[in-house]
Chain A
Amino acid sequence: MSSKFIKGMSHGLPVALGYFSVSFGFGIKAVMSGLSPVAASVISLTSLTSAGQAAGVDIIAAGGTLLEMILVQLTINLRYSLMSLSLSQKLDKKFTMPHRLLASYGITDEIFAVCSSQPGLLTPAYMYGMIFIAAIGWVSGTFVGASAGEILPQSVSSAMGIVLYGMFLAIIIPPARKEKSILFVISLSAVLSLLFYYAFRFVSSGFAMIICAVISAAAGAILFPHKD
């Protein structure tokens, strides 16, 4: 195993732990919606996304149409195309077409966040290591949750709900401390997000996130052009 792969795994460990706790909840939800633990785990393995899966299970349970499924998945997951585009700008030369086809499977919010905060270019081995361990956490959490959701005490599983958000703060706060432009962008985005959450509830959370991110990043780009 290459050292880049191992480095990717170690950087992906907090992601995997967070995923385990979140997908545990997804597993419970999927079984309550009438899916088998195996079906729930296959969804986690093939989709590797949180909000899209939760919405997908709702549509399956309701016997919705495939068109509805397609539109919901497109809307909720559209943010990934922005993240993919952003990551495409920092890929190492080793990233040939087959590697790009393979690694794009694993671009999630958290993997994107960790990858984009890395100094320098991304190698395939590094991304594979991170995706590998994160997928293990995500799929195993789903399976365990679906099979044995009631075993874990409620106090433990609910406290685990904050893990991923704690990680997000650990990613955005240190650079915001160094660069006031980043502080501006995250503050604006947070204010807009609060506005959507409390004032414009009719906008779905997937769309709201896209709008907040695009407005704040565009404002940052206009007011504080980034030189590199």
Chain B
Amino acid sequence: MSTGIYITVMAVITYVIRMIPFTFFRKKIKSEFVRSFLYYIPYAVLSAMTLPAILYSTGDMMTAAVGTVIALVLAYLGCPLIVVALAASVGAYIAGLF
């Protein structure tokens, strides 16, 4: 089968999943439960995506742990996203030198 067909199918499915709720859901949701649920969803998704994946993100749990601790501390102090993200990476890199 041609690679182009696969690529087209991937693109269409991925787009439609994003497009339908975003485009056709126009009402404001009234239910307090649903509103609260949607309010918490981003935090829940990101937390599940981060743990435990962050510990395997560098291929070495030691360097990843160093980066994670740095990110946690800087995030707790309220540093900007880019600072937290890059400091975690630099920390993991430096830890990898030892």
Q: Do A and B bind each other?
A: yes
Number of interface residues of A (CB under 8 A): 101
Closest CB of chain A to B41's CB: distance in Å? 5
* Most chain B C-beta atoms within 10 Å of own C-beta, residue among A35, A175, A225: A225
Partner of B81 from A171, A194, A222 at Cβ < 8 Å: A171
Majority-rule SS of B interface residues: helix
Closest CB of chain A to B42's CB: distance in Å? 4
Contact A171 B46 (CB under 8 A): yes
Partner of A116 from B32, B42, B63, B84 at Cβ < 8 Å: B42
Number of interface residues of B (CB under 8 A): 77
Q: Mark B17-38, 1 if CB is under 8 A from A, else 0.
A: 1111111011011001111111
Q: Roughly how many angstroms separate A227 CA and B32 CA in the complex, as a whole number?
A: 8
* Interface residue ranges, A against B (CB under 8 Å): 11, 13-14, 17-18, 35, 39, 42-43, 46-49, 52-53, 56, 59-60, 63, 66, 69-70, 73-74, 77-89, 97, 100-101, 103-105, 107, 109, 112-114, 116-117, 155-156, 158-177, 181-182, 185-190, 192-194, 197-198, 208-209, 212-214, 216-218, 220-222, 224-228
18 new A-B contacts at CB < 8 Å, known A182-B40, A185-B44: A73-B14, A77-B18, A78-B17, A85-B22, A87-B22, A105-B15, A159-B63, A160-B89, A164-B57, A165-B50, A166-B54, A168-B54, A170-B80, A186-B43, A217-B40, A217-B43, A220-B37, A221-B39
